[in-house]
Amino acid sequence: MEMSARATRAKAAVDVVTTFFAKIQSAADDPDALDFTFGNPHEFALPGLTDALRAQVEPQSVDWFAYKTSEPAAQQAVATGLRTEVGLPFEPEDIAMTQGAFGAISLALALLADAGDEVVIPVPGWFCYEPMLHAADLVPVRAALDPGTFDLDVDAIARALTPRTRVVIVNSPANPTGRVYPEATWRALAEVLDDASARNGRRIWLLSDEPYRRIRFDGIEFASPATAYPWTIIDYSYGKVLLAPGQRLGYLALSPLIPAAEREELREALMPIGLAIGWGFPDAVMQYSVPALEHVSIDMAELTRKRDRLYSALVDAGVEVTRPEGTFYLWGRAPGGDAQAFCDALAERGIHLMPGTLFDQPHHFRISLTATMETVERALPALVEVAAEWGAAR
Amino acid sequence: MEMSARATRAKAAVDVVTTFFAKIQSAADDPDALDFTFGNPHEFALPGLTDALRAQVEPQSVDWFAYKTSEPAAQQAVATGLRTEVGLPFEPEDIAMTQGAFGAISLALALLADAGDEVVIPVPGWFCYEPMLHAADLVPVRAALDPGTFDLDVDAIARALTPRTRVVIVNSPANPTGRVYPEATWRALAEVLDDASARNGRRIWLLSDEPYRRIRFDGIEFASPATAYPWTIIDYSYGKVLLAPGQRLGYLALSPLIPAAEREELREALMPIGLAIGWGFPDAVMQYSVPALEHVSIDMAELTRKRDRLYSALVDAGVEVTRPEGTFYLWGRAPGGDAQAFCDALAERGIHLMPGTLFDQPHHFRISLTATMETVERALPALVEVAAEWGAAR
């Protein structure tokens, strides 16, 4: 065994995902496969994205491809967008451009937490929090969401806090459940975090993971916990709204409500720590594209149609589904209760869902709505049939 | 103080660089500034680079911008190149594509080392090793190069090894000295590392930092330590040979001589740990470009002319200069002995060199040969004049 202990832990934490990923990649070689697993594009890239890249690969100065940290025009465009969306007076200096949300989370963890510090994460939640925490030598502490509604369970978070808690990660709109949490939830959480910070004599930071912020249905409002709890840092990725996770672009944003001295300390650290974690700044071409990309989005009307079609069909078939308020995922309870068996039966018919086992939820499954409507229509008859079979067998 | 202890250490270790960087950025606003500081481009991007990017931003499939780990065609092209250049039978599975050498070093450190492990680095050497080690919670241990020739001092490395040493970092062609080390050096080092590993009962790994591998003068041969010491991992960046560090592209390569079981263990960890450190894979467009970019390079003939011109002029002016065998840097001893004062005097004349203080070498300076020949010619009269003044004053 030559690997470090932290790499060994990180690898073990993500093995279920990488194994599933490899299996799906070979299944996807079948041109008839109906793939609802990862949030990957299934249609040609958005013209707005390709246009931006095409424009920005043409050098306009000798330093076009020189070392880039956070480009001022990108920071400015992000701050402007955040002011509207989050409703707080962000300034360009609060923004660190990063290689997607992954990069932003790495930066936040390095900035704030030391080896052995505990980080509270939601369960079910994104399956990469745990491996990332292990790689950063931090200790993941799980706090369950409400098992029925998948609401944020503030009491469960309160119970997960210890004197070693340094960061709490929240995610709204939430992967995999599609839930969007209201402001009242954040106010309750803020109270809990404030009390615990006082008790600990050390600030507990909130990391608000918001890559799906712009992907919401039915005009539901977005509330960021940054408005309720000053010690909040936001990470964002353009990979979701552009459906282009292979071109890394995201940011970390310091809340303007962070007390001045701490905000200044963290601002000054964004560049050097971005450097120290591995020059975690996006490619020049991606940074130049930010002002244009701020106004590009997947087709929300079409995404809504896919959500509605699948949600209704599954509910009609007797499947318990959490109605997605945001994200491009649909989260349901496997008919019969065994998600792995249900997903295996569907895979035999060429339909690939993600079993909840990847989220430590063996009774549930996730459907990615990034599949095309044609794929949805092709899959539905068998999906409904298998759901009915397994539901009846229970 | 809200920052983590590791971020605080990392920031302190790079403050001298970021402060200098900020100073130079404002100095460079003067259109007459003659900038020889960082290894940044001063001419328009290589047509081969722009051509590759222009071709690859056009989507050729629906998953063109989907999540990318290490693209097989990129791994294949890298392995083929390494077989020729390093002379060992690399296979595509030995290669992890990364966001430049920074990303490759982060990946190597996470793979191999745990909090508190010691990592030996050369002094003078690249000023980002230390902040990166601090951010990864590792302990930098400095081993001085030979103070006259800047040869690798194998005895100094031997003295720096302790029971906690996990990794030794070497760099040839070497930044900032321009030295290229021969095979005999690596054989001597291998013996030392083998003995110490046996003594420690734990393997000491060698990280060979080779971003300047293709930038060598006078037909000098390249020898990688991978040929001498099986437990070697190579990091590489395309940022130097393409002079485009703002488009992140590099790789980590496992030596084919690593014993089979360990090689297999590390191969299987490249993807999950690449994910866990922050999805450290290059952008899709950059990965697609690798087969083309393998054959693109800065103009070595022009670079040689700049080296020759500056080297001869400085030697004629009585300056002690290490003749660069590789890299695009020229390393000299400041006339008068005080590099900061010498560089300040030149800065007043609009000529910006990098003082050795950034490398903990207060008597030396570094000149980046990425400045244009026109800049070299414009700077030379004043450079020679100031050198003569300061040399005489000694």
Question: Can you tell me the ipTM of this complex?
Answer: 0.97
User: Does the pLDDT value for residue B1 go beyond 80?
Assistant: no
Question: Is there a contact between B141 and B159 (Cβ–Cβ < 8 Å)?
Answer: no
User: Whose CA is closest to A370, among A49, A45, A52, A19?
Assistant: A45
Q: Give backbone dihedrals phi and psi of B230, rounded to 5 degrees, phi first.
A: -60, -35
What distance in Å separates residue A46's CA from the closest CA in chain B?
10
Q: Which residues of A touch B262 (CB under 8 A)?
A: 2
pLDDT of the residue at A391:
85
DSSP string, B77-126: HHHHHHHHHH-S---GGGEEEESHHHHHHHHHHHHH--TT-EEEEEES--
The C-alpha of A191 sits at a distance from chain B's nearest C-alpha, in angstroms, of: 20
CATH 3.40.640.10, domain A67-293, yes or no:
yes
Question: How far is the C-alpha of A7 from the C-alpha of A140, rounded, in Å?
Answer: 15
CA A118 to chain centre: 20
User: How much is the mean pLDDT over chain B?
Assistant: 96
Query: Which residues of chain A lie closer than 8 angstroms to B132, CB-CB?
Result: 276-278
Contact between A286 and B286 using a beta-carbon 8 Å cutoff: no
Asked if the Cβ–Cβ distance from B40 to A135 is below 8 Å, we say no
Q: Give every CB contact of residue A198 below 8 A, 6+ residues apart in sequence.
A: none
- Which amino acid, residue A137? D
Residue ranges per structural domain of chain A? 5-46+298-393, 67-293
* Tens of each residue's pLDDT in chain A, 394 residues: 799 999 999 999 999 999 998 888 888 778 889 999 999 999 999 999 999 999 999 999 999 999 999 999 999 999 999 999 999 999 999 999 999 999 999 999 999 999 999 999 999 999 999 999 999 999 999 999 999 999 999 999 999 999 999 999 999 999 999 999 999 999 999 999 999 999 999 999 999 999 999 999 999 999 999 999 999 999 999 999 999 999 999 999 999 999 999 999 999 999 999 999 999 999 999 999 999 999 999 999 999 999 999 999 999 999 999 999 999 999 999 999 999 999 999 999 999 999 999 999 999 999 999 999 999 999 999 999 999 998 876 5
pLDDT value at B31 more than 90: no
The DSSP bridge pattern shows strands A118-123 and A139-144 to be parallel
Task: Provide the CA B208 distance to its chain's centre, in angstroms.
Answer: 10
> For domain B60-293, which CATH number applies: 3.40.50.1460, 1.20.1260.10, 3.40.640.10, 3.60.9.10?
3.40.640.10
Query: How far off is chain B from A113, nearest CA to CA, in Å?
Result: 5
Is B272's CB within 8 Å of A131's CB? yes
Find chain B residues with C-beta within 8 A of A54's C-beta: 54, 57-58
Express each pLDDT in A128-174 by its tens digit.
999 999 999 999 999 999 999 999 999 999 999 999 999 999 999 99
Residues facing A235 on adjacent strands: A209, A252
What distance in Å separates the CA atoms of residue A357 and residue A359, rounded to the nearest whole number?
5
Cβ neighbours of B280 in A, within 8 Å = 99, 278
* Nearest of B151, B352, B3, B65 to residue A47 by alpha carbon: B65
CA distance A169 to A105: 10
Interchain contact, B112 vs A4, CB within 8 Å: yes
> What is the distance in angstroms between the Cα of B268 and the nearest Cα belonging to chain A?
9
Residue pair A365/A343 in contact by the 8 Å Cβ criterion: yes
Note the pLDDT tens digit of each residue in B352-384: 999 999 999 999 999 999 999 999 999 999 999
Residues of A in contact with B1 (CB under 8 A): 265
B164 pLDDT exceeds 70?
A: yes
List Cβ neighbours of B47 (8 Å cut-off, separation of 6 or more): none
Partner-chain residue, chosen from A1, A247, A269, that has the shortest CB–CB distance to B65: A247
The predicted model gives B140-152 an average pLDDT of 97
What integer pLDDT is reported at residue B81 of this predicted model? 98
Q: Chain A contacts of B114, Cβ < 8 Å?
A: 4-6, 137
* Size of chain A, expressed as the number of residues it contains: 394
The CATH code of the domain at A5-46+298-393 is: 3.90.1150.10
In this complex, which of A57, A110, A266 lies closest to B135 when CB atoms are compared?
A: A110
Supply the pLDDT for residue B24: 87
- Residue A98 distance to chain B (closest CA, Å): 10
Q: Which residues of B touch A102 (CB under 8 A)?
A: 275, 278-279
Residue of B nearest to A98 (CA): B278
Q: Residues with Cβ < 8 Å from B113, sequence gap 6 or more?
A: A4, B119, B136, B138, B166, B167
Record the pTM. Answer: 0.98
What is the H or E stretch that residue A311 is in? helix A300-316
DSSP 8-state symbol, A69: S
Closest CA to B70 of B293, B258, B283: B283
CB B367 within 8 Å of CB B175: no
> What residue type is assigned to position A126 of the chain?
W
- Residue A225 Cα, gap to closest chain B Cα (Å): 19
Type of residue found at A75: Q
Q: Does B279 contact A247 at a Cβ distance shorter than 8 Å? A: no
Give me the residue from B49, B106, B279 closest to A102, CB to CB.
Answer: B279
Residue B316 C-alpha, separation from nearest chain A C-alpha, in angstroms: 32
> Across the interface, which of B42, B62, B276 has its CB nearest the CB of A132?
B276
**Kind plus residue range of the DSSP H or E element containing A167:** strand A165-171
Query: Using the beta-carbon criterion (under 8 Å), do A41 and B58 form an inter-chain contact?
Result: no
DSSP H or E segment with residue A330 = strand A329-333
Contacts A243 to B, Cβ<8 Å: 65
Q: List the beta strands (DSSP E) in B323-377.
A: 329-333, 351-352, 354-355, 364-368
Where does residue A154 rank: exposed (0-12), middle (13-18), buried (19+ CB within 10 A)? Answer: buried
Nearest CB neighbour to B106, from listed A50, A57, A278: A278
pLDDT at B216 > cutoff 90: yes
Cβ burial, residue A355 (10 Å; 0-12/13-18/19+): buried
A7, A59, A246 member nearest B269 (Cβ) = A7
Alpha carbons A343 and A187: distance in angstroms, whole number? 38
Chain A residues whose CB is inside 8 A of the B374 CB are none
Q: Which of B50, B44, B52, B60 lies closest to B77, judged by CA?
A: B52
Cβ pair A111:B42 closer than 8 A? no
Looking at residue B393, its pLDDT comes to 67
Candidates B7, B135, B283; nearest CB to A247: B283
